[in-house]
Chains A and B, each alone.
Chain A
Amino acid sequence: MDRAGKPLFQSNYLTCMKTMNKNKEDVKSVSHLIVCNENRELIIMEQSGIKIKKSIKLPSVGVFIETYGLYDIDGKIFIACRDGKIYVVKNGLLSNQVYDIESKPVGMVYIDKSIVVASMNNVVSSYYGKGKKNYSIYMPCTITNIEKMIMKRTKSVNAALVALSNGEIRMFNNKFLITTIKTDDVIMGMRFGVFGREEGSLVINFKHGGLSVKMLQRQANLSVSNHKPGPSIKQDIPLKIKLFVELTQRERDHSVDMHRLFQKDLCKLRLKTAQSYISLLNEGHAPMSYAQGSKLRLNATTEGIGPIFKIKLELQNLSKKSMVGTRVMLSYATDIYKVISKGFHKPMTLLPQINYNQEILVENIDENGAADLIRVFIYNHESSMPLITANLNMPLSEVDLE
């Protein structure tokens, strides 16, 4: 690509930019501008900024750049790309070292000789310089931003700030969560550094246009040692009594047997449950029935306060065939209840998927209004076993005083 005599012109879009110092660590010393574009190129500019020093073809489009060291002295350029991989450019050449982040990157920072990448699968992972994974931290929701928090002058801090879509900013020193800052809005961008005269400032840009500046307290403790993971409350550990020791020993010696026994009992329990359930269905005691290969549903409710109650039955044939000659029968204590309605035990034909409603009036004839159980059976002439049963717990009846 010969651009001599032509103005510098890039027809495609830039995706990210970064600077890298040429040969001095100093903030104000000469640096190179490094950019990525949609044409899968990484372009390193001359320090003057008007000429291309080097253009490197990448396997994918770079979206984040991080630099480490000085360009002239073995500096490394890390490029997180849209294909979910991080490529490394060293000495102006694409090295064969590749980090696979298993998702798409949403941010990348270089902290303390490791690359920390936030990805779209809500994970923050850290990789050593050699490409080995150091750790992964799982977040409860989408990560919107990641920023490094590095202070040198007043105190030594090397932390990563991770902004989440629920408005939280989590501060990690290594893999340890140090603190969480809660905000009311989604964070679109944040930058940590010197703001005015204050060194430890964090400027946050919110989704709805707000801008917030947070400053680190001088005596804030950010060291890991004081923030051990896990519950901070001291837990009561009982004394090691003899019984406890014996029990532990027994558990250790017979662990396999104990486990086997437990599994066997568990199997038995499951089998028993399944058997009971099947028999319940077959004997028509459950609200759903499969007795005699039929599929029925019965819903029985009572209405009224007494002495006359209305029993409402809702019957549905869930199978595909119609059922002929089904009848309703009530079983009750004759000294307490008397059935008023007539003709409800006529044989019925139940067509599939249609609701059949029936109302039966029952009178409580007990002088004290005693309550009892009324059982509703649905049966047909093929078997003495009911197709389905419903147990109605009748309420206490109002006594007819007249």
Chain B
Amino acid sequence: MGGSLGKKKAKIIIVGLDNSGKTTLINYLKPPKETLSEVTPTVGFKVESFKQDKINFTCFDMSGQGIYRELWPEYYSEAQGVIFVVDSADKLRIAVAKNELEMMFEDPGIRDRPVPILFFANKKDLPYALTESEIAEQFELDNISDRDWHIEASNALTGEGVTEGINWLGAKLPKKKKK
């Protein structure tokens, strides 16, 4: 990646429950020729990279399935930013997502490092989807005081809100020395 010289690099981790739209979200951000026509449930995790707002992102797209969630903490310590994707139409599992979020905040890899967290209230196009403020209320995000956070309603299929969110994250990333 010769062209990336002189540009910022960032390693981020993307987590969230299964079927919340993590891979779809990344898929939208990838260069057009690399995009997949169909997204299947991720097994384990996938490393993807994309360029956005003059930053080269390396992204750990974690699987959200119950059995793979134990992998998440393995990559927390390397991440400079966290993206947490929520299916805002799945009201029942908001509680599960909240529980996973709480566990993430208790993990030393996140707890001791004030990395910024971006929430995507995904699938906002679906009927009965919760708004981002409703999700922020459910997650009690106002209680987060040790780091920057932001919530963005999104539709990963059409890309609505995705760029805005990533731009916010890019601006919050720690200033890295240029290579």
Residues of A with Cβ closer than 8 Å to B? 153-154, 195-199, 213, 215, 217-219
Contacts and interface: CB of A to CB of B under 8 A. Distances in A.
Top 7 nearest A-B pairs (CB, nearest first) are A154-B66, A154-B67, A215-B96, A217-B99, A218-B69, A197-B19, A218-B66
Interface string B156-168: 0000000000000
A343 B143 CA distance: 86
Contacts of B96: 198, 215
Nearest to B64: A197
Given A218-B99, A218-B100, A219-B103, A198 B67 contact: no
A196 B91 CA distance: 11
A196 B18 CA distance: 11
B95 interface: yes
Nearest to A217: B99
B18 A197 contact: yes
| B17, B70, B93, B100 interface centre (most CB from chain A within 10 Å) | B93
Contacts of B18: 197
A122 to B, nearest CB: 32
Interface string B74-109: 000000000000000010110110011001000000
A197 B67 CA distance: 13
Contacts of B93: 196-198, 215
Nearest to B20: A197
Contacts of A195: 92
Given A153-B67, A197-B17, A219-B103, 13 more contacts: A154-B67, A195-B92, A196-B92, A197-B18, A197-B19, A198-B92, A198-B93, A199-B66, A215-B92, A215-B93, A217-B99, A218-B69, A218-B99
Interface in B1-55: 17-19
B25 to A, nearest CB: 18
12 contacts: A153-B66, A154-B66, A196-B92, A197-B17, A197-B18, A199-B66, A213-B92, A215-B93, A215-B96, A217-B99, A218-B99, A219-B103
B109 to A, nearest CB: 16
A181 to B, nearest CB: 14
Contacts of B19: 197
Contacts of A197: 17-19, 90, 93
Q: Which of A196, A198, A199, A219 has the most CB of B within 10 A?
A: A198
Given A153-B67, A154-B67, A218-B69, A196 B103 contact: no
A60 B10 CA distance: 72
B138 to A, nearest CB: 15
A196 B93 CA distance: 9
Interface string B57-70: 00000000011011
A219 B103 CA distance: 9
Contacts of A215: 92-93, 95-96
A195 B96 CA distance: 13
Nearest to A195: B92
A347 B93 CA distance: 89
Interface centre among B18, B69, B96 (most CB of A within 10 A): B96
A218 B15 CA distance: 15
B42 to A, nearest CB: 14
A317 B9 CA distance: 105
Contacts of A199: 66
Contacts of B92: 195-196, 198, 213, 215
A218 B19 CA distance: 17
A401 B65 CA distance: 94
Nearest to B95: A215
Contacts of B95: 215
A320 to B, nearest CB: 75
B166 to A, nearest CB: 26
Contacts of B66: 153-154, 199, 218
A84 B100 CA distance: 45
A197 B93 CA distance: 9
Contacts of B67: 153-154
A338 B52 CA distance: 110
B90 A196 contact: yes
A297 to B, nearest CB: 67
Nearest to A201: B92
Nearest to A200: B66
Interface in B105-123: none
Contacts of B99: 217-218
Nearest to A215: B96
Contacts of A154: 66-67
A212 to B, nearest CB: 11
A355 B17 CA distance: 82
Contacts of A217: 99
A307 B19 CA distance: 92
A217 B90 CA distance: 17
A254 B103 CA distance: 59
A147 B99 CA distance: 25
A219 B17 CA distance: 14
Contacts of B100: 218
Nearest to B19: A197
Nearest to B69: A218
A198 B67 CA distance: 12
Contacts of A219: 103
Q: Which of B66, B69, B93, B103 has the most CB of A within 10 A?
A: B66
A196 B67 CA distance: 16
